[in-house]
Each structure stands twice: as C-alpha cells, then as structure tokens.
Structure 1
Amino acid sequence: MITQFETAILDTPTGKMRSEIYRPVKSGKFNAIIFYSEIFQITAPIKRSAQILAGLGYVVIVPEVFHELNPIGCVLAYDDAGKDKGNADKWEKSLEDHDSDTQAMVEFLQSYEFCTGKIGAMGVCIGGHLAFRAALNKNIQHAFCLYPTDIHSNTLPSEKNNDTLTRSKDIKAEVYLVFGKQDPHVPQDARLKLYQHFLQNGLNYIWLEVDAQHAFMRDEGERYDSALAIKMYQTAGDFFR
C-alpha cells in the first residue's frame, strides 16, 4: 500500500510527546502498531521501518521515547556521542514514565479516526523492551519484540518489584521475541534466563533465535541483514494480522 505521514503532539504526565504517524493512503480503518525506536529516537532507519509496516496495512505511531529529556524533534546520531547521550537518557527515564507514554498513545489511537481500536506493539533494542513492557497494558493485544535489551538485567530504573522481568507474569497478550545469536547485549546466558523465566511464569510467547548480530534490522551500518529484515517485517505483519 502507498502510505502517508503526519505528526501528533500528545500530552503525557511528563510533558509533550511528539509522535510520527504512518498509515495507508487507502481509505478505511486499520489496526494499529505502536513502534518503539532505539535510544537514538526517530532516525531515518526507524522512519523507514515504520513506513514498511504501514505499507502492510497498519496505522503506525512512533513516539520520541525520551521526549522529556530532549528538545522536540531531537534525533541522535549513530556515533559515540549519540550512543552516550541515548544511554544516559535510558538510565534516567523510569519504566513508569514509559508506561504513561504508552497509555497516552493507546488513548490517542482509540480515538483516531483511521484506527479500528485494536493495538499491538513492536520495537527494536530498548524499543523491543518497551514493546514487551507495553503488553502489560490491557489494551495491547500482541507485542513483537526485536532483540529487546535490559529485561534480563533489571537495570532500567523502576519502582520496587515493578521491573519488566518481575512484571512479565502479569502479561496476558501474546508476545513474539526475536534474538540474534551474536548479540552481545543479550548473550546466550541472558537468553536462557529469559526463556526459562517466561516458561515458568506462563507467558504466552513465541521464541526465535536467528543467526544475526544486534541491530540487524537497522538499514545503516555493517550489522544490517537485509534478507532477514524482510523476513521479520513479513513475520510481524502476519503475527499482528
């Protein structure tokens, strides 16, 4: 499908959150996907990913995940300075504030004239974590999580017993987890920890490990695997459908 683009400024408890919306040009209502970015926010590769998903027949909303810590429209570069700033933002923003961002997007999508009201979540890197976390929201029906970081380590700031690993037992949505076998951010022992934990707590999940590095979806840089990325877009589209 041919797609179109617009922006929206959403009110959240921690301030204004700029979000980009991609949707089919075709008239009608479509199911929605909240697409969470990496620490670098809405970069060119993230925009292209959102456009691909919209072309599969979805309304896709992409938030500035660290909106309260940066000027509106801030995009970090894929360099050491950008990585340092993005990681600093990651350690500063609480999971509870991400939860309230998700709720703001849910409420927006439920009233958005081009959306059916059915909502899924998807993300890459920390965005994969946030997509998984979003499944705690009763309005999120499915979550597709690509190489989600920091779930196994409980390192993101949160209130006591509100970390994502502990709260995973409360997720009722179906979750699809994809990891690269060469990903140093979620190595084999971390993946085994997650797999066993989710198995024991009854999470409804699909598990996939692929021969790839971290950030294999990002179509800039040496880690990009184009054939695998195409397969993941098709898998995600089928999963949400």
Structure 2
Amino acid sequence: MTTQTVTIPALLGGSFNAYLATPSTQPRAGIVLIQEIVGVNQNMRQIANDFAKVGYQVLVPDLYWRLEPGVQLDFDDEKQRAKAFELLGEFDWDSGVEDLKASLSFLRQYPSSTGKVGSVGFCSGGKLAYFMATRTDADANVSYYGVDIDRNLAEATKIHKPLILHMSANDEYVSPSAQTTIQQGLKDNPLVTIYRYEGVSHGFSRAGSSAYRKEAAELAGDRTLAFLKQHLG
C-alpha cells in the first residue's frame, strides 16, 4: 500500500487536496471517504489505509479547504471540538457535495480504476454520504451516524443506488424521534438498509476516542465491507 497527497480541481473553481491510499494489488474499486467534522485527521487516514489494505483505492478529500485547508482536530479535546463545530457552522453543504462529485470523477478516471466508486462517511460525512446517494451517481454509499438526515428526507426519492445507514441508538446528535422519522421515511425503499446499534453513542466507530465501542464498530465494519464487496466488487 502507498499513500500520497493529490490535488483535485474543484468544479466550482480552485482546487483542493486529498489523501489517497492505493493498494499494492489491483484495486477492486474506489471509495470516497468523507471526513467527520474534525477534518482529514489521523483517524480518517487510518480508515483509508485499512480500506486500501483490503484492495480499495481510497480518496479522502479536504472538504474544509475553503475555510481552513489541512485542518486536523481531535473530537475528544474540548477546544478542538468547539472549533470543529465552528467550522461546521460555516461549511457550505452544497459546495461540499460539488467537491465530492469532483472526487468521485477523480477516482473513476484514475489509472487502474474499475470505474466503480462508492462513498463511506462519518458524522457530518454521514450526512454527505446520504447526499452522495441522493445527488450523485456513486455506485454504493455508507453513512455512519449521519446527522440531519431526518431534515432531508424529501430527497429520498432520488436514491437509485444501494445505501446503508449505521445508526447509534444513543446518538446525542440524532434524537430518538429523528431516528424514528428516518426509519419511517426510508422503510419502503428497498435500496436502503438501516442498522441500529443499541447502547452506543455518536462516534462509536472512531477508534481511539472515548466514544469507541469495539464490538459495534467491528460489526458495522464487517457489514460495510460485505456491502462494498457486493456492490463495488
């Protein structure tokens, strides 16, 4: 496996950096890995490396580049967490989706690409993974504890490719009523699979954090890999 920083032309002008992890074998397919609110930090790079080790070409775009390029924060640090929420408050979601479309195109055109590319996103990236399902032609999408999906269910009719939602039963950022709204709003769509993990909070897959819960994280990870293998190869 090799890693590098690449530069991607933005569809709206300018360019942004992304972390690219390339497997040592012929790539199965591509994954656009979508950052949490803390930026492209060590945790996101490690997730990318782990996907690359099982054969995927993984791209992690710096979605905060218009606000503060290269930001890397620790969610468990109170001051850094506050800054992350500040950045998120300034983040333009529509521009972020356009950057993800550019990332999708970059991976599809990359040498040795199979042409199939999906997305996996966490937290705010989980919301963006949902938008990847509703606003792009990504081949398969995985959302981990995505926020505000209940407020964007009007877009659900545009889902034409398989989507997984991993939901934390005790998510402090997605209320029980919001989770019920999501489940009711998507239950009739055969392309959507919802997994709910009891007894865990937001960020249960964030390795090394106070929220990390090994059993739930490994179960969600196994389900994600099986899903990606089925739909991306």
Q: If the length of structure 1 is used for normalisation, what is the TM-score?
A: 0.88
Q: 1:14 to 1:83 in 2, by over 3 A?
A: farther
Q: Which amino acid aligns with 2:119?
A: A
- Taking the aligned partners of 2:220 and 2:184, their CA distance within structure 1 comes to 24
Aligned to 1:15: 14
Alpha-carbon shift at residue 165 of structure 1 (Å): 2.5
Aligned to 2:160: 172
Q: Which amino acid aligns with 2:71?
A: C
The 8 Å contact of residues 53 and 233 in structure 1, kept in 2 or not, is answered as no
- Taking the aligned partners of 1:35 and 1:140, their CA distance within structure 2 comes to 12
Q: Where in structure 2 are the equivalents of 1:201-212 lying within 5 Å?
A: 202=189, 204-211=191-198, 212=200
Q: 1:106 to 1:221 in 2, by over 3 A?
A: closer
Q: Which amino acid aligns with 1:225?
A: R
Aligned to 1:75: 72
Alpha-carbon shift at residue 229 of structure 1 (Å): 1.8
- Taking the aligned partners of 2:197 and 2:153, their CA distance within structure 1 comes to 22
- Taking the aligned partners of 1:227 and 1:115, their CA distance within structure 2 comes to 33
Structure 1 residue 198 and structure 2 residue 195: aligned? Answer: no
Q: Where in structure 2 are the equivalents of 1:35-74 lying within 5 Å?
A: 35-71=33-69, 73-74=70-71
Alpha-carbon shift at residue 185 of structure 1 (Å): 0.9
Task: State the SS of the aligned residue for 2:55.
Answer: coil
Alpha-carbon shift at residue 138 of structure 1 (Å): 4.2
The 8 Å contact of residues 61 and 100 in structure 2, kept in 1 or not, is answered as no
% same residue = 23
- Taking the aligned partners of 1:220 and 1:14, their CA distance within structure 2 comes to 36
Task: State the SS of the aligned residue for 2:115.
Answer: strand
- Taking the aligned partners of 1:88 and 1:105, their CA distance within structure 2 comes to 25
- Taking the aligned partners of 2:136 and 2:36, their CA distance within structure 1 comes to 24
Q: Where in structure 2 are the equivalents of 1:218-229 lying within 5 Å?
A: 218-229=206-217
Length, aligned pairs only: 226
Q: Which amino acid aligns with 2:138?
A: I
Q: If the length of structure 2 is used for normalisation, what is the TM-score?
A: 0.90
Task: State the SS of the aligned residue for 1:120.
Answer: strand
Q: Where in structure 2 are the equivalents of 1:30-179 lying within 5 Å?
A: 30-71=28-69, 73-78=70-75, 79-152=77-150, 154=151, 164-179=152-167
Aligned to 2:203: 215
The 8 Å contact of residues 134 and 160 in structure 2, kept in 1 or not, is answered as yes
